[in-house]
Copies of this chain bind each other. A is one copy, B any other.
Amino acid sequence: MEDMTINDFLKGDKFALFAGVELVAAGNGYAKARMEIKPLHLNGGGVCQGGAIFTLADLAFAAATNSHARLTFSIASEIHFFKSEKEGFLYAEAHETFNHKRLSNCEVRITNEKEELIATFNGTGYRKDTALPFHPLL
Protein backbone atom coordinates (compact mmCIF):
# COMPACT_ATOMS: atom_id res chain seq x y z
CA MET A 1 0.00 0.00 0.00
CA GLU A 2 2.78 2.41 0.82
CA ASP A 3 3.83 2.95 -2.75
CA MET A 4 0.55 2.64 -4.64
CA THR A 5 -1.21 5.74 -5.92
CA ILE A 6 -4.58 6.38 -7.56
CA ASN A 7 -2.69 6.64 -10.85
CA ASP A 8 -1.40 3.08 -10.40
CA PHE A 9 -4.91 2.02 -9.51
CA LEU A 10 -6.43 3.56 -12.61
CA LYS A 11 -3.73 2.09 -14.86
CA GLY A 12 -5.66 -1.14 -14.52
CA ASP A 13 -8.28 0.50 -16.76
CA LYS A 14 -7.31 -1.05 -20.09
CA PHE A 15 -9.95 0.73 -22.13
CA ALA A 16 -8.95 4.20 -20.93
CA LEU A 17 -5.30 3.34 -21.59
CA PHE A 18 -6.23 2.08 -25.04
CA ALA A 19 -8.06 5.35 -25.72
CA GLY A 20 -4.95 7.27 -24.68
CA VAL A 21 -6.43 8.88 -21.57
CA GLU A 22 -3.86 10.13 -19.04
CA LEU A 23 -4.52 11.18 -15.46
CA VAL A 24 -2.89 14.55 -14.77
CA ALA A 25 -3.99 15.26 -11.19
CA ALA A 26 -6.27 13.76 -8.51
CA GLY A 27 -7.09 14.45 -4.89
CA ASN A 28 -9.80 15.45 -2.44
CA GLY A 29 -12.74 14.98 -4.80
CA TYR A 30 -10.98 16.60 -7.74
CA ALA A 31 -9.25 15.17 -10.82
CA LYS A 32 -7.96 16.24 -14.21
CA ALA A 33 -7.32 13.97 -17.19
CA ARG A 34 -6.32 14.60 -20.80
CA MET A 35 -6.37 12.82 -24.15
CA GLU A 36 -4.62 13.82 -27.37
CA ILE A 37 -6.96 13.46 -30.34
CA LYS A 38 -5.53 10.94 -32.80
CA PRO A 39 -6.96 9.31 -35.93
CA LEU A 40 -8.37 6.44 -33.87
CA HIS A 41 -10.64 8.86 -31.97
CA LEU A 42 -12.39 10.26 -35.04
CA ASN A 43 -15.92 9.52 -36.15
CA GLY A 44 -17.24 9.51 -39.73
CA GLY A 45 -17.42 13.32 -39.67
CA GLY A 46 -13.71 13.58 -38.88
CA VAL A 47 -14.15 14.90 -35.33
CA CYS A 48 -13.49 13.31 -31.94
CA GLN A 49 -16.14 10.69 -31.29
CA GLY A 50 -18.60 10.84 -28.38
CA GLY A 51 -17.51 7.52 -26.85
CA ALA A 52 -13.91 8.74 -26.72
CA ILE A 53 -14.98 11.98 -25.00
CA PHE A 54 -17.11 9.94 -22.57
CA THR A 55 -14.13 7.69 -21.80
CA LEU A 56 -11.95 10.72 -21.03
CA ALA A 57 -14.61 12.30 -18.79
CA ASP A 58 -15.36 9.00 -17.05
CA LEU A 59 -11.73 8.51 -16.04
CA ALA A 60 -11.62 11.99 -14.51
CA PHE A 61 -14.85 11.13 -12.66
CA ALA A 62 -13.41 7.79 -11.47
CA ALA A 63 -10.25 9.46 -10.17
CA ALA A 64 -12.15 12.24 -8.36
CA THR A 65 -14.71 9.94 -6.78
CA ASN A 66 -12.16 7.30 -5.76
CA SER A 67 -9.70 9.88 -4.38
CA HIS A 68 -11.08 9.24 -0.87
CA ALA A 69 -9.63 5.70 -1.17
CA ARG A 70 -13.04 4.07 -0.92
CA LEU A 71 -14.10 1.93 -3.92
CA THR A 72 -16.82 3.77 -5.88
CA PHE A 73 -18.63 2.47 -8.96
CA SER A 74 -20.31 4.53 -11.63
CA ILE A 75 -24.06 3.96 -11.60
CA ALA A 76 -25.17 6.69 -14.02
CA SER A 77 -23.79 9.47 -16.19
CA GLU A 78 -25.12 12.20 -18.41
CA ILE A 79 -23.08 13.87 -21.13
CA HIS A 80 -23.93 16.98 -23.17
CA PHE A 81 -22.03 17.72 -26.37
CA PHE A 82 -21.63 21.37 -27.42
CA LYS A 83 -18.77 21.69 -29.88
CA SER A 84 -16.74 19.28 -31.97
CA GLU A 85 -12.97 19.13 -32.00
CA LYS A 86 -10.63 17.34 -34.40
CA GLU A 87 -7.14 17.93 -33.06
CA GLY A 88 -4.96 18.73 -30.06
CA PHE A 89 -5.55 17.77 -26.45
CA LEU A 90 -8.90 17.53 -24.73
CA TYR A 91 -8.95 18.08 -20.97
CA ALA A 92 -11.51 16.82 -18.45
CA GLU A 93 -11.72 18.38 -14.99
CA ALA A 94 -13.93 16.71 -12.39
CA HIS A 95 -15.21 18.28 -9.16
CA GLU A 96 -17.18 16.29 -6.62
CA THR A 97 -20.36 18.20 -5.73
CA PHE A 98 -21.68 15.56 -3.32
CA ASN A 99 -19.71 13.24 -1.06
CA HIS A 100 -22.00 10.96 0.93
CA LYS A 101 -21.10 7.74 2.73
CA ARG A 102 -22.70 5.66 -0.03
CA LEU A 103 -23.15 8.10 -2.91
CA SER A 104 -21.06 10.55 -4.89
CA ASN A 105 -21.80 13.07 -7.63
CA CYS A 106 -19.23 14.80 -9.83
CA GLU A 107 -19.43 17.49 -12.48
CA VAL A 108 -16.88 17.23 -15.29
CA ARG A 109 -16.08 19.90 -17.88
CA ILE A 110 -14.35 18.88 -21.10
CA THR A 111 -12.40 21.65 -22.85
CA ASN A 112 -10.02 21.96 -25.79
CA GLU A 113 -6.64 23.67 -25.92
CA LYS A 114 -8.33 27.06 -26.39
CA GLU A 115 -10.32 26.45 -23.19
CA GLU A 116 -13.55 26.27 -25.18
CA LEU A 117 -16.25 24.07 -23.64
CA ILE A 118 -16.61 20.88 -25.70
CA ALA A 119 -18.92 18.93 -23.41
CA THR A 120 -20.17 18.60 -19.84
CA PHE A 121 -20.53 15.31 -17.95
CA ASN A 122 -22.27 14.46 -14.69
CA GLY A 123 -21.43 11.19 -12.93
CA THR A 124 -23.11 9.45 -10.00
CA GLY A 125 -21.17 6.87 -7.99
CA TYR A 126 -22.10 4.24 -5.42
CA ARG A 127 -19.53 3.56 -2.73
CA LYS A 128 -18.71 0.05 -1.54
CA ASP A 129 -17.23 -0.76 1.88
CA THR A 130 -13.94 -1.72 0.21
CA ALA A 131 -10.95 0.46 1.10
CA LEU A 132 -8.61 1.14 -1.82
CA PRO A 133 -4.90 0.33 -1.48
CA PHE A 134 -3.63 3.89 -1.18
CA HIS A 135 -3.98 6.75 1.29
CA PRO A 136 -6.85 9.19 0.76
CA LEU A 137 -5.58 11.95 -1.50
CA LEU A 138 -5.75 15.42 0.02
Task: Tell me the minimal C-beta distance from A99 to chain B in angstroms.
Answer: 10
Residues of chain B with a CB closer than 8 A to A54's CB: 50-51, 54-55, 58, 77
> Taking the complex as formed, is A39 at the interface, i.e. its CB lies under 8 A from any CB of chain B?
yes
Task: Tell me the minimal C-beta distance from A44 to chain B in angstroms.
Answer: 3
Residues of chain B with a CB closer than 8 A to A74's CB: 50, 81
What residue of chain B has the Cβ atom nearest to residue A117's Cβ? Answer: B97
Residue contact A105 to B82, C-beta cutoff 8 Å:
yes
Give the number of times this chain occurs in the complex, counting copies.
4
A78 to B6, CA, bound (A): 27
Task: Tell me the minimal C-beta distance from A119 to chain B in angstroms.
Answer: 9
> Taking the complex as formed, is A134 at the interface, i.e. its CB lies under 8 A from any CB of chain B?
no
Residues of chain B with a CB closer than 8 A to A59's CB: 51
Residues of chain B with a CB closer than 8 A to A103's CB: 75, 126
Residues of chain B with a CB closer than 8 A to A55's CB: 49, 51-52, 54-55
Residue contact A102 to B126, C-beta cutoff 8 Å:
yes
Give 11 A-B pairs besides A15-B52, A51-B51, A82-B100 with Cβ atoms closer than 8 angstroms.
A10-B44, A14-B42, A75-B80, A76-B79, A76-B81, A77-B78, A78-B122, A82-B97, A97-B117, A107-B120, A124-B124
